[in-house]
Chains A and B, each alone.
Chain A
Amino acid sequence: MSNKQARVPLPVEDERTPLKARKVSFSWEDTPLHWVPGDPFTTHTINVLHLLLPAGERWFVHVYKQVLPYIRDERLREDVIGFIGQEAMHSQAHDEVLPHLKELGLDPTPYTAQVDWLFEKLLGDRTLPPGRARRWWLMERVALIAAIEHYTAFLGNWVLNAEELDRRGADPTMLDLLRWHGAEEVEHRSVAFELFLHVDGGYRRRVRTWATAFTALVFLWQRGARFFMENDPTLLDGKASFRAFYVRGRRGVLPSTGDMLRSIPRYLSRDYHPSQEGSTEQAVAYLASSPAAVAALAAEKGTK
């Protein structure tokens, strides 16, 4: 690549850990519709994750399966394989929340069918001639994933530290799903970016795909929150607004607007490396105590 950076950012100290998928399972029977008590807006804003992630993370896996042959570094290859397993599990875990929402009277299908279209068709393989065009589209998608992973790591780090949710009595099963997922996102936060640097790494592409990913995330998220608020069977006049988001960010039940804005220049900095954000130690510590992850470990030991 002619526009490859001369300077490759290096990971901080020893933030690397071997990645493995944990076979978690959650039972949703006892989770109420508004699992952050008395706060439908916060609940539904976070619920948008369940709309986007099943299709989105399935798409990550689909794209990464194709990029494996381009990897010439054995260690990175192992990381990517571990990443694929973790993402596939995330996708499934969030997918299983959807039938529960439906049972509670909030059918997510109209929205998820569109998200499915976005990832399966618009961002799918497309009919391209083999060679440059196909490679370009693959690299573009790898860069998109790196940009999205910047935000999943940001959110993962946020939810691990969002003690306000505990104080407000949020549903423990849902918090465990979010924190297990968040912790694994923090744990593997460097993989997507390192893969992007390894196979392409162009700065222009990084900026371009960041702009696309950021716009799409904002668009899909506000849309999802509005969709949930308007279709919630218990709300008469459910509305989502930026103001509500801003206010809850200040309270600490959602990420704060300021933190989100400040994370933008960090990703666009030429010295950016994901290991500068969040802490693997905290993530691994959570995974060691997460009820779902502990049960997964016990089940795995039992069968071997």
Chain B
Amino acid sequence: MPRLRTVVAVAGAALLARRAMRRRIQASPLWPMPALDEPVSGRPRTRALRLLVTAHEKVADGVVRLRLEGHDLPRWEPGAHLDLVLPSGLVRQYSLCGDPEDTSSYTVATRLVEDGRGGSREVHEQVREGMELEVRGPRNRFPLVAAPAYVFVAGGIGITPVLPMLRALPEGTDWRLLYGGRTRASMPFLEEIEKLDAGQGRVSVVAEDEDGLPDLDTLFAEVPEGAAVYCCGPEGLMAAVEEWAPQVHLERFAPRSSTEGNGSFEVELRRSGRVLTVPADSSVLASVRAELPDTLYSCEQGFCGTCQQRVLEGEVDHRDELLTDAERDDSMLICVSRARGGRLVLDM
């Protein structure tokens, strides 16, 4: 009976194959599937943390330093900032100015901006020791690159991201710092900076009421070849430094121009050649959908990731909790995130 013979042959072959497979799998348990070199599942994400405010102290005129305690906090690199979710729900970015190796606390410092958007006033007047604050991050948009020499220009509270950089530079590095402010009393961390300088004249402190405006000409006249230039401070100072050193690394602590945190801004959709205005009370997603009704979205709260789009130009104010830092570099969730500057260019 040829049919029976076929059945017996197939069953026999299957049994042999099974035994061979079992041996093989026992020898190396993960055989026979290949694996991704960089696994996606189980990777750490930027997550919201709730930290306890354990210090709220005045360190200079109008400047308050906050110490936020937790445990097993993610490490950070000099230049990194935190997103602080204030009691009213406002989200503000503050540069970390403590010790990057400290995994039990984060330190930030903020200046009270009288005519600001309310964030600093809240930190100064409503945040108290013993309160819990939600923070996201840390993230770094202002990383310290390897260079033969460094020039730092800090204006006022712009010293905060620079301070951990100075501490992190190896002994003997060629660096100089121009630190400007309105009055000496209003400039935080002066003492520590002078200690870091160790009397080598690498720091020039310029207080406007005593010395007038900082002299960038002299500073840049003697910049060493190939030096990395870092600047953080008011808009005017950064624009001036940019003229001297177009390759400067900038960190803005206020949104460019007068754009409010929730203000309107412009979005260009490059592939479909459209430019739209996103009003203050509406999301990028809503405006885009008015033009491109097939745009994907789902949760509209920044956690499902369906509406992720590639960003070609412009700085994003990320308000989701999903994207990793690498993804944040070139994409955004358009349902919740907004522009930090006045304009964004999306690849859609």
Contact = CB atoms under 8 A, between A and B. Distances in A.
Contacts of B297: 81
Contacts of B304: 21, 61, 84-85, 88-89
B39 A88 contact: no
B170 interface: no
Given A65-B306, A84-B304, A114-B34, A108 B298 contact: no
B14 to A, nearest CB: 14
Given A116-B35, A230-B29, A95 B42 contact: yes
Contacts of A88: 298-299, 303-306
Contacts of A112: 39, 41-42
A95 B322 CA distance: 12
A23 interface: yes
A92 B36 contact: no
A85 B302 CA distance: 10
Contact of A303 (B41, B44, B89, B296): B89
Q: Report, as a range, how many residues of chain A touch the other chain.
A: 35 or more
Contacts of B33: 114, 117-118
A69 B299 CA distance: 19
A55 interface: yes
Contact of A58 (B39, B40, B298): B40
B41 A55 contact: yes
Contact residues of A: prevailing secondary structure: helix
Contacts of B114: none
A121 B305 CA distance: 20
B40 A116 contact: yes
A300 interface: yes
Contacts of A11: none
A226 B29 contact: yes
Interface string A277-301: 0000000000000000000000010
A113 interface: yes
Interface string B31-64: 0011111011110100000000000000000000
B294 interface: yes
A23 B39 CA distance: 24
B39 A113 contact: yes
A114 B30 contact: yes
Interface in A74-121: 81-82, 84-85, 88-89, 92, 95, 98-99, 102, 108-118, 120-121
A133 B44 CA distance: 37
A85 B296 contact: no
Contacts of A217: none
A54 interface: yes
B35 A84 contact: no
A10 interface: no
B41 A23 contact: no
A110 B36 CA distance: 9
Given A84-B306, A88-B306, A116 B299 contact: no
A21 B322 CA distance: 14
A227 interface: yes
A68 interface: yes
A68 B295 CA distance: 10
B32 to A, nearest CB: 10
Interface of B: 29-30, 33-37, 39-42, 44, 89, 294, 296-299, 301, 303-306, 322
24 contacts: A54-B41, A65-B306, A68-B296, A84-B304, A85-B298, A85-B299, A85-B306, A88-B299, A89-B304, A92-B322, A95-B41, A95-B42, A109-B39, A109-B42, A112-B39, A113-B37, A113-B39, A114-B33, A115-B41, A116-B36, A117-B35, A120-B36, A121-B36, A300-B301
Interface of A: 20-21, 23, 51, 54-55, 58, 61, 65, 68-69, 81-82, 84-85, 88-89, 92, 95, 98-99, 102, 108-118, 120-121, 226-227, 230, 300, 303
